Amino acid sequence: MRKEYYLLLFLIMFNLFLGGIIYDYYFSLPEVDFLSVGQGDAELIQTPAGNILIDAGPGNKILEQLSSSLPFYDRTIDLVIISHPNKDHYYGLKYLLQRYRVRAVMTNNWNYSSPTFQKIIRLLQKERVILLQGYRGIRIRSSSAVPFRLTLLYRPQADFSPSDINQASIIANLIIKSNQFLFTGDTTAKEEKLILSDLQLKPVRVLKVAHHGSKTSSSLEFLSRYKPQFSVIEVGKNNYDLPNIETLRRLYKVSSRVWRTDVDGIVKFFISPDGKMRITQLPSCVRK
């Protein structure tokens, strides 16, 4: 009798587990999470078609953040986009590879000569990760229950060699239903200006505030043009006075609701099939 009871219990648990996976695969909603990785960037886009990570943060905090965002059985990141080869955006790849299967990594400057970056490239090659060149106009789209479209908007010309690699950041926009997310890496006001003159983007619903809220990004001209309803500053303990008070003032001036990951933790945006947005927060355990 006891044996049968345990067998029945096991079958019930197994069915629930399997049902959870199937439900998640077919019915889960697209979700965009701004992770709290300390002083660095990482945004996770979860869709029924796969997981995309934009930047991997500066270290191993990416692992605890992903485990609070992804279901425990989901250990695959289909694509990592590194906005630019600065350590606070790519070094978390080292730890990511230890726990997750990473299918492909895309960035715009594989030739960047930093020894640490070159070491990460060798690690990716050893793990047989596909290395992709990011260029303007690349589109990643899915036509699942809630379709999405991710487009790379800006990348300087191949012969462009900025003294500050932040200026070469990949800028990408994600459209889910009528909601536009804009990911800006560490871009400066100079490239924002190029976007302003170059692109006719719709108003931005959610903005990843550029360069951790630095005062040399997020010009009033840019913010007034795109009117982000919600803004997230990804920031941790730092010696650079980030986020800068002037940037915060400019965001308030355009009436944007602002979150910062060092204080608010992970900020999650869910999109339902009718395009409605739901926002939740997971309190931060990462304050550094």
Name residue 199's beta-bridge partners: none
| Contact stretch for Zn ion (CB under 5 A) within 70-78, 112-120, 178-186, 266-274 | 178-186
| 55 sits near Zn ion (criterion: CB under 5 A) | no
Does 88 bind Zn ion (CB under 5 A)? Our answer is yes
Q: How far is the CB of 280 from Zn ion (least distance, A)?
A: 25
Q: How many residues bind Zn ion (CB under 5 A)?
A: 2
Choice between 186 and 191, CB closer to Zn ion:
186
By CB under 5 A, is residue 191 in contact with Zn ion? no
Strand segments (E) across 198-276 = 206-208, 230-233, 257-260, 266-271
Region from 60-68, 76-84, 120-128, 181-189 binding Zn ion, contact rule CB under 5 A: 181-189
Q: Which of 96, 95, 97, 88 is nearest to 58 (CA)?
A: 88
Using the minimum distance from each CB to Zn ion, give the nearer residue, 208 or 250: 208
Residues of this chain, 97-116, that bind Zn ion according to CB under 5 A: none
By the rule CB under 5 A, 192 interacts with Zn ion: no
Instruction: Report yes or no: 192 and 219 within 8 Å, Cβ to Cβ.
Output: yes
Sign of CA dihedral 37, 47, 180, 187: positive
Is residue 186 involved in binding Zn ion (CB under 5 A)? yes
Whole-angstrom distance, CA of residue 264 vs CA of residue 135: 33
How far apart are CB 83 and Zn ion at their closest, in Å?
8
Residue 165 C-beta: closest distance to Zn ion, Å = 10
d(CA 39, CA 133): 26
Question: What is the rounded CA–CA span in Å between residue 226 and residue 89?
Answer: 25
Compute the least distance from the CB of residue 212 to Zn ion, in Å. Answer: 6
Tell whether residue 234 is a contact of Zn ion (CB under 5 A): no
Distance CA 254, CA 226 (A): 9
Q: Does 262 participate in binding Zn ion (rule CB under 5 A)?
A: no
31 binds Zn ion (CB under 5 A): no
Partners of 133 in beta bridges: 107
Return the number of the residue (33 or 88) whose C-beta is nearest Zn ion: 88
Q: Are 136 and 155 in contact (CB under 8 A)?
A: yes
User: Of 158, 204, 198, which is closest to residue 183 (Cα–Cα)?
Assistant: 204
Report the C-alpha gap between 261 and 283 in whole angstroms.
Answer: 9
In this complex, which beta carbon is closest to Zn ion, that of residue 213 or of residue 228? 213
Instruction: Give the residue with the Cβ less far from Zn ion, 31 or 234.
Output: 234
Give me the residues that bind Zn ion (CB under 5 A), please: 88, 186
